[in-house]
Amino acid sequence: MFQWQQYELGVCYYPEQWEESLWREDLRRMKDAGIGTVRVAEFCWVLFEPAEGEFHFDLFDRFLSLCQEEGMKVILGTPTATPPAWLTEAYPEVLNALPDKTLLRHGARRHYNYNSPVYQRFCSRIVEEMAKHFASHPAVIGWQIDNELNCETDEFHSEADDLAFREFLKKHYTTLEDLNRAWGTVVWSGVYTSWDQIFTPRPVLNAGHNPHYLLDYYRFISDSCISFAVMQAEILRKYLKKGDFITTNGLFGNVDNHALTEKALDVYTYDSYPDFALGLDRSPKTSTDLNDRKWSRNLIETRSVCPHFGIMEQQSGAGGWANRMEMPAPRPGQLTLWAMQSVAHGADFISFFRWRTAPYGTEIYWHGILDYDNRDNRKLREVKAFGNLLQKLTPVCGAEHVAAFALLKDYDNEWDAQADVWHKRISSGSEKEIFAASQLHHTPYDIVYLNDDTALSALSRYPVVFYPHPMIMTESRASLLTEYVKNGGTLVVGCRAGLKDANGKAVMMPQPGLLQPLTGTDVQDFTFVSPAEENDPAYPIFHDILTPMEGTAVLARYQTSYYAGEACLTEKKTGKGKTIHLGSAFSRDTVAKLFEHLVILEPFRNVVDAPKDVELLLREKGGKQYLFALNYLAQNQTLHLQKSVYSVFEEKELCGDVTLPPYGIAVYAL
Amino acid sequence: MFQWQQYELGVCYYPEQWEESLWREDLRRMKDAGIGTVRVAEFCWVLFEPAEGEFHFDLFDRFLSLCQEEGMKVILGTPTATPPAWLTEAYPEVLNALPDKTLLRHGARRHYNYNSPVYQRFCSRIVEEMAKHFASHPAVIGWQIDNELNCETDEFHSEADDLAFREFLKKHYTTLEDLNRAWGTVVWSGVYTSWDQIFTPRPVLNAGHNPHYLLDYYRFISDSCISFAVMQAEILRKYLKKGDFITTNGLFGNVDNHALTEKALDVYTYDSYPDFALGLDRSPKTSTDLNDRKWSRNLIETRSVCPHFGIMEQQSGAGGWANRMEMPAPRPGQLTLWAMQSVAHGADFISFFRWRTAPYGTEIYWHGILDYDNRDNRKLREVKAFGNLLQKLTPVCGAEHVAAFALLKDYDNEWDAQADVWHKRISSGSEKEIFAASQLHHTPYDIVYLNDDTALSALSRYPVVFYPHPMIMTESRASLLTEYVKNGGTLVVGCRAGLKDANGKAVMMPQPGLLQPLTGTDVQDFTFVSPAEENDPAYPIFHDILTPMEGTAVLARYQTSYYAGEACLTEKKTGKGKTIHLGSAFSRDTVAKLFEHLVILEPFRNVVDAPKDVELLLREKGGKQYLFALNYLAQNQTLHLQKSVYSVFEEKELCGDVTLPPYGIAVYAL
Amino acid sequence: MFQWQQYELGVCYYPEQWEESLWREDLRRMKDAGIGTVRVAEFCWVLFEPAEGEFHFDLFDRFLSLCQEEGMKVILGTPTATPPAWLTEAYPEVLNALPDKTLLRHGARRHYNYNSPVYQRFCSRIVEEMAKHFASHPAVIGWQIDNELNCETDEFHSEADDLAFREFLKKHYTTLEDLNRAWGTVVWSGVYTSWDQIFTPRPVLNAGHNPHYLLDYYRFISDSCISFAVMQAEILRKYLKKGDFITTNGLFGNVDNHALTEKALDVYTYDSYPDFALGLDRSPKTSTDLNDRKWSRNLIETRSVCPHFGIMEQQSGAGGWANRMEMPAPRPGQLTLWAMQSVAHGADFISFFRWRTAPYGTEIYWHGILDYDNRDNRKLREVKAFGNLLQKLTPVCGAEHVAAFALLKDYDNEWDAQADVWHKRISSGSEKEIFAASQLHHTPYDIVYLNDDTALSALSRYPVVFYPHPMIMTESRASLLTEYVKNGGTLVVGCRAGLKDANGKAVMMPQPGLLQPLTGTDVQDFTFVSPAEENDPAYPIFHDILTPMEGTAVLARYQTSYYAGEACLTEKKTGKGKTIHLGSAFSRDTVAKLFEHLVILEPFRNVVDAPKDVELLLREKGGKQYLFALNYLAQNQTLHLQKSVYSVFEEKELCGDVTLPPYGIAVYAL
């Protein structure tokens, strides 16, 4: 893996969109603002290959020379997210399609499919030509594969996808008999008697697809996406200069980002746009989801993929397309707040999107640092000041995050919840509430994705793990969890855990299935919370009614409906550890009570007493700890420092009440 | 017609979905719970015919032998609702299509069309093979044709449907000239000059299809569906054992269930799922439509088709598909309540859906009696207890329903309201309100569907008939109504009655058209209730402003808008009877006042004083009367018995205040 | 241009829909009601040409003879809005299509495309045959081309449109290089390397089309529509009787009605249906958009196209289709009010839609003067009374409208706002509010559409012009505005003015771009009003933060957000005039304050003090002024006449308090 050795600022730049006469001045103004890297070229296919097999790199040759002269480093994007019109018109089989096979056409972006051999051939060639031509250039420091893989859409329905899906399934199941059994196609006469009868999801009545088939379809999409990235990475590695890295800018649906990173990348980057939460289609005044602060959830995800990641696109201005997305401009301080939110969560490279707002195209309102008028402005001043703050944070670069607990996830359950609305309602509700409790009670967490190879050590770093609703539970994961608990860990699971096997089929066992030995509970009855009844908001959405087995303690009981008095929260010891079983989905109040019960609540409370609207994060490096405090509100927030700490930005010791201004941030060395 | 001679319990079972080793135990547990019949095989086509022309029945041979051994009776479903993948891939012309001819594909169910000669050939063969093979088996007692005809969708747009639609029209109109006149195609240059220009509804701007064409299209769909069922019934009858019956499980859109039953069936069955009303997409706390109790409306419809019907699928657990429909589990008592709701309305056979929840497939959350874990549970205990209650009800089996009035309907108006949003808004509002008034005021009704052959005796059983909005009125129906009134009946009609002819075209007559001699009113002005004005909720939606003609009495006058003071409710005597004309749509308050005025309000009030939330139904057999009382709420309800009655379940005489527990039911022999 | 010399009443009539025996009686009843003109034949193609190349005009020959006998004048519609089924089935290339090329089929109307050479050939022939046959008939006085061009849909996607779009673009850009530059296709690798790669909008992900491409697409649609009309007009002119006129009934999207009128028509007509505002899908009780009164906005638009226009379809009854649009009947007086609203705004010809409600077809609920029963009714009585009122208004016919200011518009910005949701949100909000302020404060305005040929005299008639958000600003328009201001005019512009060039691309200039010399303001920061913050409703939607330059006065400052204290309203003198710059979108309160500031508020206040719910309009002719007062409410309204005026309808002098009854109207000669 690649890791930045010090904080770096970057910016996304589109030399092809501007008069060449502007380039040098742009680079100099960037440098003046502390920006040392530009990400370029990710949408330039038609410039590089204006006709099939004709390659022209002179425009970027000139640009790279200038970068070299000006000391600017360059990340090059491969341009495969936007095939030229000549390609898609001549070879429409490269296009993605809707379920009814209507092709998605030239005119926007990401309209291709991963599995067309023709597209793969064209992509291999353009990547190889670019790599051959540019990889040895001294200004180049890294490569971005494609752009935002699986953004715009994460479903694919072309004929190439049908064929590839069959191959994917043959590899996994070998025989149709096994596939039919795995999917339970005996239902509704669904049995396949030839591989050719299988397609990516086509139009069916009431979208009533078999969910186990869908689960494999999502796995297939992930596999296709990763293979596409690997194909490019393998070409790039043939030409890559020593020290240069390969990345992609991600976190989109239907892709196993962990496997993608492991198989294709040196480092992972994320595109962070918290202003979406404040757009004109949202109600930030009444929202209960923490608005822009909830981008921290994405950043926790990102650092689960890659602890020392980069931000390839950090929002610097209002986002917007001509046809959708209306956002207010970031308020003074928000650019800095959001960039520091990324840094606090582990980003070592912050590349702003974008240097100057495009005066044309679909993204005409996706504002950059500079506005159309190209004058210095408050955003440029913020970028420069932010760079200065980063200088002061130098010792923190590469520090590890200190978490009070881990949230366990896995792609099987992630995708099962896409195919299964019962699963989705429960899981998405709980994830939102666990995050909210963590934030409002200053109890930070890491995310750990489980797969069949996950080592015990990945869990045993944490005294407590929440695995809210692992409906799909495999033998190997149940073993891992058992080992974890036996060794002293605390496992927290919620309703519907253990319901399903790896294909998303319910197991014919007393619930919570494979987890029953750990939970010591038996679920004999269960129900969605009825909209016809009053319910305690502490236990929302779904109720597994828990019958405690021998040795299991009841921590709380339902107070409503026909099961009032039955257990809803239990605790069972196993070895040195224990398992908490919550019969319902999670609410922020119940999570906070569990934090308290498990003695992980507010680990920094001996250092600082902070109001709910401030996010606290702790980073650790070389034995030193750094506490980040971020104020997401437009109002002052008062923190009470319980002991003397060193304010890294103010460069002095502080104690007692301190004030964070609107959108203000502080870092305290403890 | 077939009629059950005593109450029977059944269950839907899918032997193909389970390890064969479970079968015997399952049958024994069913019997232990009082279940004597299983419905099977309705989705087994691919098992019976895994490749074109290859038939295998051994799995069900074994299952039927076991049933025979265990004394279990069997209803076999023909599997034509779910063609195998090999069939639809090889012969895509069998598929149904969207209006733009996009085919609806394999992967869910009911994706075929009724009119494809290829599909008819395949269906005939599988039905014939099944019938030949199984019909003489001693365990078999009946056949279900297909499954839920017209469920999932009730519109068809395949090319086979286009061709069949033209033939249907040729038969009805003979000449294009007649068709053009009937549809008024002179509007918008719509005239057809060749039969080949006519299609099932295709994409047109703003969905602006000619409504008279749509009306015939709906008639065509019904005709296609019935023909498809008749085709199967004719084959089955060649092989049917004496005493065995043919049924189908119905009540879906765009099919004349009465003609279907008359032409193809021995008995009609219904699938009753009241938990839909309590799903997470509903607001049962604030709903005004009586929630699960409104399933009684469907049951009244069902007994209009077939007075002694069966329930092929009676909800036993929470319903749900993987991709939609999230429902809470039925509360303890609700399974019994809903099953007894069916019995109270005339069901003699109650088959629960389903024995055990499927652990896989789209219906993974459509819960049966048993859960995934296969253990005895409260639902199984309820089924068993319900069977015991039915034993006590033995004398009631086959009893007739006693209604205070009849609600008249007909398919012409039903389907016209689908093609006509003005009609639909008025009709659907009134039907809901008449039902609510009937329920809340314990004034039960029958539904009578009129057609051109309806005999006077079908009406003259009732002192009062409500025919809320017969916009389409024919000479023969007007005559029938006149005879009914002359003979002493009371006819109640609402706004817009008599507006149209049999093609849904407005008649150029003073309104209410053919009914004017009966109503003695003249409608010279009319309007939707204006959203800009205040209105009296007693007279909702639409206002025909009534000018009473000579001899017509005014019962009420509008109090609002420019027609304040004009008549809105009139009464006119004809012969021994009379006609009430309501100028507006019906509200529950106005209906209740009409009940009182017509002296049909609460016919049981001398027996029992019941709260609004309890449904009361009276059944009569051999001179004895049985009063059912059903409590739909989670709270106790107190009834006051005005005189001593015999409680069938408690087996004792009762008088005065008695309490129905939550979801409780009682049957009193009067 | 054609102009009516006196007020005329007309009616839309469909002789083909009625028994021929009704015709004469219908004509005589029309005449009795004061109706002298019928508009006919616009949907009669299949009657005129029942098979390809066979023409039959005898039905209308008989009808025209009868009109001649009865002294009724006739406007004939060309029937090209509804091609016969034989045509569209034989030549499907004449059909319009959805973006995915699904054809829009026979069965409704307007399902053709303008660009199919086949369709153009068929249309030319039917128009020529009709013109040859009917144009010399003495009863004929005018022709309507097609019916409601661009109604039903204003987007076209057939293959003929693709081809025509390419030709349109070739004509405008000559080279692909110029086109690519104009559209900024360098973004997202969008560059076209062959004309054949360009299509009308096809399915793309997230509808992310290039907005400059869309802008040209809308221009293309307008061009296609106009060419289609010109093609018909040129044929008609070959046969037109002297004095007869050519019109079309318009005001639909994506067409430059001014160019259409100039190139193809003698006079423009509009179809006015204010009851849409009171339909069952609306909330007139709580609406803030003035309900039916806002049809005056459309009428102001109409008179900008053609100051002395006609109403080809004036609503006389409730509108409705079988499948959508449910409206209450117009209240007594509303028919007259709405017709007089048209007259007050400049209509000299009022043709009611329609004589008698169609008893069949999609428009079965589009009520005419007479109802299905064909009896005299209150609507017929109102029409007759309205005709009598018009007699009294004879001196007013042809009078000019007196406006306090002009609202400037142009099609570039109109269509840019369709391709650009930021533009649309701002513009549509402001236009609504300016209209509301004008109405509620009795400060009437004219609309002036700017194009590159607009003469200064078109503006200099007005002391004040509002040009709310000319995002697209060209050199020629900036010059025109400068001349206007220098000569003493006052220009008012709002936020985002001057942002873009003629292709909708942002200009790289300090904002407001080309208007900065006039506004004397500099926009260095800007934002949508944040939904996370409180905001002053006086300054809604968007905020350009204004930095006043030397000599610019600040009239108001923002009170909220981070830019509290910055200028939001400024004034700068140039020559004899001045420019007001509002940083936000317009609110009705701010507009009213600007009226006051600019001394144009309530120009009639010395004549009459009227309540907000009364619309006032002033017309002037031959030195005499006529004040129209229209009451849109169901309640009496009291006006206070400040001096003695002559009531044209009451035929007497009035002074002091006078009462307008519900929906009442008055005209005062001053």
For the segment A306-333, what is each residue's pLDDT rounded down to a tens digit?
999 999 999 999 999 999 999 999 999 9
Residue B636 confidence (pLDDT): 97
A584 in the same domain as A450: yes
Contact A4, A244 (CB under 8 A): no
The pLDDT tens digits for A623-668 are: 999 999 999 999 999 999 999 999 999 999 999 999 999 999 999 9
Q: Are A592 and A625 found together in one domain?
A: no
| Domain hosting residue B563, numbered range | 405-597
| CB-count burial class (<10 Å; 0-12, 13-18, 19+) for A604 | buried
User: Pick from B575, B597, B619: which residue ends a domain?
Assistant: B597
Contact A50 C189 (CB under 8 A): no
Considering only CB atoms, which chain B residues are within 8 Å of A541?
none
Tell which C residues from 1 to 20 touch B, by Cβ distance under 8 Å: 14, 16-17
pLDDT tens, residue by residue, C375-432: 999 999 999 999 999 999 999 999 999 999 999 999 999 999 999 999 999 999 999 9
| pLDDT-derived band at B1, boundaries 50, 70, 90 | confident
Q: Write the single-letter amino acid at C566.
A: E
Distance from CA of B443 to the nearest CA of C (A): 32
pLDDT of A1 > 90? The answer is: no
Query: Does C276 score more than 90 pLDDT?
Result: yes
A361-398 residue pLDDT tens: 999 999 999 999 999 999 999 999 999 999 999 999 99
In this structure, the answer to whether residues B575 and B491 fall within a common structural domain is yes
Kindly determine whether residue B209 and residue C107, on different chains, have CB atoms separated by under 8 Å: yes
Bridge partners (DSSP) listed for residue A315: A353
Buried b (16+ CB within 10 A) or exposed e, B486-522: eeebbbbbbbbbbbbbbbbbbbbebbbbbbbebbbbb
Select the residue of B85, B108, B332 nearest A192 (Cβ to Cβ): B85
Question: Does residue B551 fall inside a structural domain?
Answer: yes
Contacts of C377 in chain B (CB under 8 A): 524-525
CA C56 vs CA A496, B207, C20: distances in Å:
74, 31, 16
- Output the average pLDDT for chain A: 97
Which residue of chain A has the CA closest to B18?
A186
Q: Would you name the residues of C annotated as active-site residues? A: 148, 313
Measured over the CA atoms of residue C289, residue C290, residue C295 and residue C299, the dihedral's sign is negative
Residue C250 — very low, low, confident or very high, per pLDDT cuts 50/70/90? confident
Chains B and C: how many Cβ contacts under 8 Å? 192
Cα of A634 to nearest chain C Cα, Å: 9
Hey, which residues 500-529 in chain C have their CB within 8 Å of chain A? 503-511, 524-529
Residue C70 is given by DSSP the state H
Query: Would the CB atoms of A189 and B283 count as touching at under 8 Å?
Result: no
Q: C 33-92 residues with CB below 8 A of A?
A: none
Query: Over the stretch A338-359, which tens digit does the pLDDT of each residue have?
Result: 999 999 999 999 999 999 999 9
pLDDT value at position A231? 98
In a domain, A125, yes or no: no
Indicate yes or no: CB of C108 within 8 angstroms of CB of B187: no
A25 lies within 8 A of chain C by CB? no
Residue type, position A521, single letter: T
CB contact under 8 A, C205 and A378: no
The mean pLDDT value for B593-614 works out to 96
Reply yes or no on whether the pLDDT at B28 is more than 90: yes
Q: What is the pTM of this model?
A: 0.97
Which residue of C184, C203, C562 is in closest CB contact with A361?
A: C184
Yes or no, beta carbons of C328 and B186 under 8 Å apart: no
Say which of C100, C506, C530 has its CB closest to residue A359.
Answer: C506
The answer to whether residues B581 and B642 belong to one domain is no
Same domain, A442 and A576: yes
Query: Are residues A568 and A643 located together in one domain of the fold?
Result: no
Collect all residues with Cβ–Cβ distance below 8 Å to B42 and sequence separation of at least 6. B76, B77, B78, B79, B81, B144, B146, B147
The DSSP-derived string for B276-302 is: GGGSTTS-TTT-SS-GGGGHHHHHHHH
List the chains bordering chain C where 3 or more Cβ pairs fall under 8 Å.
A, B
* Inter-chain CB proximity B187 and C363 less than 8 Å: yes
Asked if C527 lies within 8 A of A318 by C-beta distance, the reply is yes
Residue B538: inside a domain: yes
Domain count, chain B: 2
CB-nearest to A211 from B152, B362, B374 is B362
- For chain A, list the contacting chains (3+ Cβ pairs, <8 Å): B, C
Q: Compute the average pLDDT of residues C629-638.
A: 97
B278:A509 CB<8 A? no
Say which of A42, A49, A301, A313 is annotated catalytic: A313
Contact C473, C515 (CB under 8 A): yes
**Strand ranges for A254-370 from DSSP E:** 269-272, 309-315, 347-353
Residue of chain A whose alpha carbon sits nearest to that of B107: A209
Residue C78 is classified by DSSP as P
Confidence of residue B292 (pLDDT cuts 50, 70, 90): very high
Q: How high is the pLDDT of residue A157?
A: 98
Chain B: touching chains (3 or more CB pairs < 8 Å): A, C
pLDDT-derived band at A58 (thresholds 50, 70, 90) equals: very high
Domain end: C597, C617, C638, which one?
Answer: C597
Put simply, whether A661 touches C (Cβ < 8 Å) is no
Q: Is residue A243 part of a domain?
A: no
Contact A505 B109 (CB under 8 A): no
Residue B311 confidence (pLDDT) above 90:
yes
Task: Evaluate whether A226 touches A164 at the Cβ level (below 8 Å).
Answer: no
**Parallel/antiparallel/unpaired status of strands C490-493 and C464-467:** parallel
A190 touching chain B per CB within 8 A = yes
Distance CA B559, CA B536 (A): 7
Interchain pair C291, B532: CB under 8 A:
yes
> Sorting pLDDT into bands at 50, 70 and 90, what band is C452?
confident
Tell me the residue type at B128.
Answer: E
In this predicted model, what pLDDT tens digit does every residue of B94-137 receive, in sequence order?
A: 999 999 999 999 999 999 999 999 999 999 999 999 999 999 99
Q: Do C86 and B193 touch (CB under 8 A)?
A: yes
- Residue C593: is it exposed, middle or buried by C-beta count within 10 angstroms (0-12/13-18/19+)? middle
On the question of pLDDT at A250 being above 90, the answer is: no
* Interchain pair C358, B530: CB under 8 A: no
- In this predicted model, what pLDDT tens digit does every residue of A83-106 receive, in sequence order? 999 999 999 999 999 999 999 999
One domain for residues B416 and B513 = yes
The answer to whether A193 contacts B360, with C-beta atoms less than 8 Å apart, is no
> Chain A closest CA to B536's CA: distance in Å?
30
* Region at C621 (left for phi over 0; alpha for psi -120 to 50; beta for the rest): beta
**Is A451 contained in some domain?**
yes
* Pairing verdict, β B349-353 and B8-12: parallel
**Mean pLDDT for chain B overall:** 97
* Shared domain check, B622 and B521: no
CA distance C442 to chain B (A): 24
What pLDDT is attached to residue A284?
Answer: 97
Residue A611 predicted with pLDDT over 90: yes
How far, in whole angstroms, is CA C220 from its chain's centroid?
A: 19
| Residues B612, B590 share a domain | no
Q: Are residues B501 and B591 in the same domain?
A: yes
Tens-digit pLDDT profile for residues C121-134: 999 999 999 999 99
Give the one of C84, C98, C373 whose C-beta lies nearest to B509's C-beta: C373
Q: Using only C-alpha atoms, what is the Rg of chain A?
A: 26
Residues 297-326, chain C, touching B (beta carbon < 8 A): 318, 320-324, 326
Domain end point (choices C597, C631, C656): C597
Neighbours of B567 (CB within 10 A): 21
Structure tokens at B523: 């409608």
pLDDT band at A154 (very low <50, low <70, confident <90, very high): very high
DSSP for C146-160? SSSTT-S-----SHH
What does each C-alpha distance from B28 to B138, B549, C458 come to in angstroms? 19, 70, 94
Q: pLDDT value at position B592?
A: 98
Structure token digits, residue C405: 């200011």
Per-residue confidence (pLDDT) for residue A229, from 0 to 100: 98
CA dihedral over C181, C185, C190, C196, signed as positive or negative: negative
Query: Is B547 an 8 Å CB contact of chain C?
Result: no
C378/C355 Cα distance (integer angstroms): 13
Q: What is the DSSP letter of A441?
A: T
One domain, residues C464 and C501: yes
B-chain residues within 8 Å CB-CB of C365? 422
Alpha carbon distance A83, C549 (integer Å) = 47
In this structure, is residue B644 part of a structural domain?
Answer: yes
Q: Which of B193, B206, B509 sits opposite C50 (nearest CB)?
A: B193
The answer for A 391-410 residues in CB contact with C (under 8 A) is none
Residue B480 dihedral angles phi and psi, to the nearest 5°: -60, -45
Active-site positions of B?
Answer: 148, 313
Q: Which residues is A446 bridged to in the sheet? A: A406
**C501 part of a folded domain:** yes
Catalytic residue among A8, A148, A155, A431: A148
Residue B245 lies in a domain: no
Q: What is the mean pLDDT of residues B3-31?
A: 98
Q: What is the DSSP letter of C356?
A: B
Predicted local confidence at residue A452, as pLDDT:
84
pLDDT at A307: 95
CATH of the domain at A618: 2.60.40.1180
Q: Are residues B615 and B589 in the same domain?
A: no
CB within 8 Å of chain B, chain C residues 609-638: 634
Q: Report helix, strand or coil for C586.
A: coil
Touching A: B residues 96-155, CB under 8 Å: 96, 98, 102-111, 152-153
Contact A332 C562 (CB under 8 A): yes
Inter-chain contact B107–A201, Cβ cutoff 8 Å?
Answer: yes
Q: For the domain that residue B507 is a member of, what is the CATH number?
A: 3.40.50.880
Chains A–C, number of C-beta pairs less than 8 Å apart: 194
Chain A residues whose CB is inside 8 A of the C506 CB are 357, 359-360, 364, 372
> pLDDT tens digit string along A443-479?
999 999 999 889 999 999 999 999 999 999 999 999 9
Number of H helices, E strands in chain A: 18, 25
Residue A203 at interface with chain B, using a CB cutoff of 8 Å: yes
Kindly report the nearest CA distance between residue B18 and chain A, in angstroms. Answer: 10
Active site residue A148: yes
